[in-house]
Structure 1
């Protein structure tokens, strides 16, 4: 399965590492993905999602129901929940 955030759809970025002598080497900046289970009280069930640490902080702040509702409205939800 792709290394993407299930809620926001974010994925790895490409870039360069720069040495002290300013030599550039290609590098992939991966997301800090975490596999977590969330309880959705409206649907009375648990779901397992791969979310980035940034998305996890947003869920802790706003709640899983609100975040899922906004993701569905925006159309970024990768895994149907």
Structure 2
């Protein structure tokens, strides 16, 4: 399963590790993805999302219903 946030779309980035001698080796920067359940009051049920912590902050700020509408409009 890929590490992609279902709200923000954040995914893995690629960069370099740099040693003291400035040798460059490839590395991955992974997003902070969590599995989380959100309560939807209008449907009276939980939904599960694979979401970054930044996405959780967006949901806390804007509300679950608005973010779900945005997800559906993206698809």
What's the TM-score once normalised by structure 2's chain length? 0.86
Superposed CA RMSD: 1.3
Map of 1:26 onto structure 2: 26
Q: What is the Cα deviation at residue 74 of structure 1?
A: 2.4
Structure 2 Cα separation of the partners of residues 53 and 21 of structure 1 = 35
Q: Which runs of 5+ in 1 are unaligned?
A: 76-81
| Runs of 4+ with >6 A deviation | none
Alpha-carbon distance in 2 for matches of 1:74, 1:50 = 16
Matched positions, count: 75
Cα deviations by residue, 1:8-43 (Å, 9 ceiling, x for unpaired): 332211111112221101001111011111011122
